[in-house]
Chains A and B, each alone.
Chain A
Amino acid sequence: MDHFGLLGLPRQYAIDRDALERAYLERAQAAHPDRFVGASSAEQRSAMERSASLNEGYRVLRDPVRRAEYLCRLAGIDVDSSEPEGGAPAMGQAFLMEMIERREAVEDARREGPSALDELRDGVEGELDDALDRAVSALQQGDSRRAAEALVERRYLQRLLDELDDEVER
């Protein structure tokens, strides 16, 4: 059963946060291994496995990015995989060139100082949001291929942002 089914929610991007919380807490409570103290080892094992599935489902569904990536996976595109078939879509030459240039921009900003880094950071954050928005609208139109592309793009940007944060902390 997929994470949506496990938590009794419709399989779609738009999610009622409150319904998710309630569904998760109710199920997590019932399945928790603490309720199976003294039970047979088979029952204890199944409680542990069910709890683990619920925890994983909740972790994925409550996070907007992970939820979008998961919907792509359900549609047959795994952005965590590098397999040519069913794996993350390959990014175009132009995009990769652009990412290299942006890396260089980080180097320049570092030489310029903290305010330049901050400015760059704000820009990347905006693009991150934009990439997720594009993925979501693609998902809503049923175009998981385009959604996966936007999500992979978002991953590149996320890595760039993490590097910027590391620079700022330094």
Chain B
Amino acid sequence: MANEDITWDDPGALFQIEEPNAGPRGPARHPGRGIGIDLGTTHSLVAIAPHGAAPRELLDEQGRALLPSVVSYLEDAVEVGHGAAARRVEEPARVISSAKRFMGRGASDIDFAHPYRLHVEAESSVLRFDVGVDAGFEAGRSGSSRRVTPMEVSAEILRVLAARAEAELHEPVAGAVITVPAYFDDAQRQATKDAARIAGLEVYRLLAEPTAAALAYGLDRSVDGGGQGLFAIYDLGGGTFDISILRLRDGVFQVLATGGDSALGGDDFDRALAQHLLEVAGAPPSGQHDARQREEALVAARAAKEALTEAETVTVDLPRSGLVGHRLGRVELEALLEPIARRTVGPCRQALRDAGVRPSELRGVVLVGGSTRVPLVRRLVEATFKQPPLSDIDPDKVVAYGAAIQADILSGSAREGVTLLDVVPLSLGLETMGGIVEKIIPRNATIPIGARQVFTNYSEKQTAMVIHVVQGERELAADCRSLARFELKGLPRLPPSMARIEVSFQLDADALLTVSARELMTGIKQTVEVKPTYGLSDAEVDALVMESLDHAEEDYDARNLAEARVELGRVVLAVRTALHEVGHLGELLPPQERTAIEEALARAEQAMGPQGPQVHKAINAAREGLEKVSEPFARRRMERALQSGMSGKSLAEIESALADEERLAERRAGHEPEPLA
């Protein structure tokens, strides 16, 4: 379909054209060396299920499975997990929690309360936390304040979990399955993958959390129902809410519909209760509660909420705000939480409608996420789906278990598995004239999926066009998430509407977008790398990888050193063999030259010895010196080989004879040398 209605903006900078088929081919299969990571808003954990084993979570030295998704940046020391969380009240501006809510988002998306100062660099839209700025430090990398992206914060968490897995496996991790909320858009998924890359972790697959939970429940193997049926997965985590309707049939788990809210979760419960507690405590003389008082209230709110799962009343203290011995009842708590929890009902009904499924047709409803422990939430789920939900597996661990099972399958273990057919949660569209969105891939389409669109020129002078890709359900591009703007360049100069540029959009099995373009008149194809509007460029990720890997430089040096030694060894062996075989023939090797070569060999022996950084440069210098002084000798040997009975032969024959000579030399390496001819 011809589409002249594209918006012509200033050429954006967010594109690059790459060779088709370029790019890494991803992680390799190593049976049993796959790990499953649930990278959560409040907690993260890692599980393994090697070689078909039942999944199990991995514990830290204190025997704890859940790693708080909290990273502290103090005095240039980075701490992850419980230690970092413990510092939250004292140093709210240096301790980053819930970084997941900032992943792949722009400043305008952050419409929830948080204690951080955010920084957006002029040339990219990537958010950064100004860590420690409230303590009066200048922003930047100097001193003990710094700027970190949410991806770097997540990478710290991933690194700790990967190390835990390596200690358990006694082997390097081959690849990870990392779970993401089903509702995550392209930018959020890309950010998750970037975080893994920064952490040096290969990713087998990004897996939707609800799908992972369904795998963990073994719904595919349940006897009643014969491995068939419809299921709802209700996932209320710390910061996100997901609802998915899945169908199981013939060994395939198919997501029929998914919905949710990527900014709704248990954190909202905590904030609502904290706000309430601060109101009860009354405003301080300054009129506003400071960051430490708010953090104290949040910690107390979280504890009270958890205690009220079992207890009917709890006592709350906020010493910093002067609140002592406050009695809080479950009824009071539920009144505060109800309006928030109710926001999950609409998406549930929508997902059922999208899937064309009535609640009575469901064979099971699975609960995922710590927030589903709240009794009010369970009652709401039961009322919405007209059946009591399944909750036999710890809702905090079920996602990691499923990820571990899928990671084991993808690592190449002989394990019976199901195929997971996931969907894209939000429609993909293009901005057209007037800012209207034209949808090209509808939401809930099974991935991978592609779409094509043909564009044309509107004047002979036009040699480029800008395409704006958005994700969302709204009519106007401004109301959707901007994924990327990219420019197609080098359009042929043709009369208006004569050029035909076919642009292909491809969503892969991780729901990540790639774009390629083909000019139909010339057939020239280009791959257009699309970077999310709120994401890091490849170069930025590479820089972070180098910067953040503590031992990257040493590793790099070690590899250079090893390679340099091998190269030098090869040259030394070749020269020594030649000296042995024909070194005595004066016409091939004049005595002074022989002396120079022997000196160079001695220098090479010396260069082989030392260890340490930059040594590879000395080794390479020794190799180059040896190659240089022995080069005339090598050339004369070559000429002699060519003259001896080989004039008039084809180049192939000469080459084959030389190869024979090489093989002979190899054989001789182990024997006493004998002179040639």
Closest A residue, CB atoms, query B24:
A41
Report the separation of the CA atoms of residues A26 and B26 in the bound assembly, to the nearest whole angstrom.
Answer: 26
Q: Are B23 and A41 in contact (CB under 8 A)?
A: yes
Residues of chain B contacted by A32 (CB below 8 angstroms): 419-421, 509
Q: Are A38 and B450 in contact (CB under 8 A)?
A: no
Q: Of A28, A34, A37, A41, which contacts B21 at CB under 8 A? A: A41
Report the separation of the CA atoms of residues A38 and B419 in the bound assembly, to the nearest whole angstrom.
Answer: 17
Q: Are B419 and A28 in contact (CB under 8 A)?
A: yes
A39 contacts B by Cβ under 8 Å:
yes
Report the separation of the CA atoms of residues A22 and B251 in the bound assembly, to the nearest whole angstrom.
Answer: 11
Q: Chain B 506-525, CB within 8 Å of chain A: the 1/0 string?
A: 11110000000000000000
Residues of chain B contacted by A81 (CB below 8 angstroms): 1-2
Residues of chain B contacted by A59 (CB below 8 angstroms): 445-446, 449
Residues of chain A contacted by B411 (CB below 8 angstroms): 37
A133 to chain B, nearest CB (A): 20
Report the separation of the CA atoms of residues A52 and B440 in the bound assembly, to the nearest whole angstrom.
Answer: 14
B81 contacts A by Cβ under 8 Å:
no
Q: Of B23, B24, B409, B448, which contacts A52 at CB under 8 A? A: B448
B412 contacts A by Cβ under 8 Å:
yes
Report the separation of the CA atoms of residues A38 and B29 in the bound assembly, to the nearest whole angstrom.
Answer: 6
A29-B419, A56-B450 given as contacts; is B508 within 8 A of A37 (CB)? Answer: no
B550 contacts A by Cβ under 8 Å:
no
A32-B509, A55-B445, A55-B447 given as contacts; is B419 within 8 A of A44 (CB)? Answer: no
Q: Are B27 and A38 in contact (CB under 8 A)?
A: yes
Name which of B28, B205, B509 has the most chain A CB atoms within 10 A of its CB: B509
B260 contacts A by Cβ under 8 Å:
no
Residues of chain A contacted by B28 (CB below 8 angstroms): 37-38
Q: Of A29, A34, A53, A80, which contacts B410 at CB under 8 A? A: A34
B25 contacts A by Cβ under 8 Å:
yes
Report the separation of the CA atoms of residues A33 and B507 in the bound assembly, to the nearest whole angstrom.
Answer: 12
Is the interface on chain A under 10, 10 to 19, 20 to 34, or 35 or more residues? 20 to 34
Residues of chain B contacted by A52 (CB below 8 angstroms): 448-450, 506-507
Report the separation of the CA atoms of residues A155 and B448 in the bound assembly, to the nearest whole angstrom.
Answer: 28
Q: Of A37, A40, A48, A80, which contacts B27 at CB under 8 A? A: A37
A22-B250, A29-B251, A32-B421 given as contacts; is B506 within 8 A of A37 (CB)? Answer: no
B608 contacts A by Cβ under 8 Å:
no
Residues of chain B contacted by A49 (CB below 8 angstroms): 448, 450, 506
Report the separation of the CA atoms of residues A32 and B450 in the bound assembly, to the nearest whole angstrom.
Answer: 14
B129 contacts A by Cβ under 8 Å:
no
A65 to chain B, nearest CB (A): 13
A32-B509, A52-B448, A52-B450 given as contacts; is B21 within 8 A of A25 (CB)? Answer: no
Q: Are B410 and A37 in contact (CB under 8 A)?
A: yes
Closest B residue, CB atoms, query A26:
B250
Q: Are A45 and B410 in contact (CB under 8 A)?
A: no
A97 contacts B by Cβ under 8 Å:
no
Residues of chain B contacted by A25 (CB below 8 angstroms): 249-252, 254
B contact residues, total (Cβ < 8 Å):
35
Report the separation of the CA atoms of residues A72 and B452 in the bound assembly, to the nearest whole angstrom.
Answer: 19
Closest B residue, CB atoms, query A28:
B421
Q: Of B2, B24, B249, B506, which contacts A48 at CB under 8 A? A: B506
Closest B residue, CB atoms, query A34:
B410
Report the separation of the CA atoms of residues A55 and B421 in the bound assembly, to the nearest whole angstrom.
Answer: 9
B432 to chain A, nearest CB (A): 14
Q: Chain B 386-421, CB within 8 Å of chain A: the 1/0 string?
A: 000000000000000000000001111000000111
Residues of chain B contacted by A44 (CB below 8 angstroms): 25-26
Closest B residue, CB atoms, query A45:
B21
Identify which of residues 14-53 in chain A touch chain B, using a CB-to-CB cut-off of 8 Å: 21-22, 25-26, 28-29, 32-34, 37-42, 44-45, 48-49, 51-53
A34-B205, A37-B27, A37-B204 given as contacts; is B448 within 8 A of A51 (CB)? Answer: yes
B568 to chain A, nearest CB (A): 33
Q: Chain B 487-531, CB within 8 Å of chain A: the 1/0 string?
A: 000000000000000000011110000000000000000000000
Report the separation of the CA atoms of residues A28 and B28 in the bound assembly, to the nearest whole angstrom.
Answer: 22
A112 contacts B by Cβ under 8 Å:
no
Residues of chain A contacted by B446 (CB below 8 angstroms): 28, 55, 58-59
A119 contacts B by Cβ under 8 Å:
no
A21 to chain B, nearest CB (A): 7
A83 contacts B by Cβ under 8 Å:
yes
B175 contacts A by Cβ under 8 Å:
yes
Q: Chain B 205-246, CB within 8 Å of chain A: the 1/0 string?
A: 100000000000000000000000000000000000000000
Identify which of residues 47-103 in chain A touch chain B, using a CB-to-CB cut-off of 8 Å: 48-49, 51-53, 55-56, 58-59, 78, 80-83
Residues of chain B contacted by A83 (CB below 8 angstroms): 2
A17 to chain B, nearest CB (A): 12
Report the separation of the CA atoms of residues A167 and B508 in the bound assembly, to the nearest whole angstrom.
Answer: 37
Residues of chain B contacted by A22 (CB below 8 angstroms): 250
A25-B252, A48-B509 given as contacts; is B25 within 8 A of A55 (CB)? Answer: no
Report the separation of the CA atoms of residues A53 and B175 in the bound assembly, to the nearest whole angstrom.
Answer: 27
Q: Of A38, A42, A78, which contacts B26 at CB under 8 A? A: A38
Residues of chain A contacted by B450 (CB below 8 angstroms): 49, 52-53, 56
Residues of chain A contacted by B410 (CB below 8 angstroms): 34, 37
Q: Are A41 and B25 in contact (CB under 8 A)?
A: yes
B256 to chain A, nearest CB (A): 11
Residues of chain A contacted by B21 (CB below 8 angstroms): 41-42, 45
A33-B508, A37-B29, A48-B509 given as contacts; is B448 within 8 A of A55 (CB)? Answer: yes
Residues of chain A contacted by B27 (CB below 8 angstroms): 37-38
A38 to chain B, nearest CB (A): 4
Residues of chain A contacted by B449 (CB below 8 angstroms): 52, 55-56, 59
A25-B249, A37-B410, A80-B1 given as contacts; is B420 within 8 A of A48 (CB)? Answer: no
Residues of chain B contacted by A45 (CB below 8 angstroms): 21
Residues of chain A contacted by B26 (CB below 8 angstroms): 37-38, 44
Report the separation of the CA atoms of residues A83 and B449 in the bound assembly, to the nearest whole angstrom.
Answer: 26
Report the separation of the CA atoms of residues A52 and B451 in the bound assembly, to the nearest whole angstrom.
Answer: 9
Residues of chain A contacted by B25 (CB below 8 angstroms): 38-41, 44
Q: Are A29 and B175 in contact (CB under 8 A)?
A: no
Closest A residue, CB atoms, query B254:
A25
Name which of B2, B21, B25 has the most chain A CB atoms within 10 A of its CB: B25
Report the separation of the CA atoms of residues A117 and B204 in the bound assembly, to the nearest whole angstrom.
Answer: 51
Q: Chain B 438-462, CB within 8 Å of chain A: the 1/0 string?
A: 0000000111111000000000000
Residues of chain A contacted by B448 (CB below 8 angstroms): 33, 48-49, 51-52, 55
Chain A contact residues, CB within 8 Å of chain B: 21-22, 25-26, 28-29, 32-34, 37-42, 44-45, 48-49, 51-53, 55-56, 58-59, 78, 80-83
Task: Beyond A41-B25, A83-B2, list 9 extra A-B contacts (CB 8 Å).
Answer: A25-B252, A29-B250, A33-B448, A34-B409, A37-B27, A42-B21, A52-B449, A52-B450, A56-B449
Can you report 30 residue pairs joining A to B where beta carbons are below 8 Å apart? A25-B249, A25-B251, A25-B254, A28-B252, A28-B446, A29-B250, A29-B251, A32-B419, A32-B420, A33-B508, A33-B509, A34-B205, A34-B409, A34-B419, A37-B28, A37-B410, A37-B411, A37-B412, A38-B25, A38-B26, A38-B412, A39-B25, A41-B21, A42-B21, A48-B506, A52-B449, A55-B447, A56-B449, A59-B445, A82-B1
Closest 3 CB pairs of A and B: A38-B29, A41-B25, A55-B446
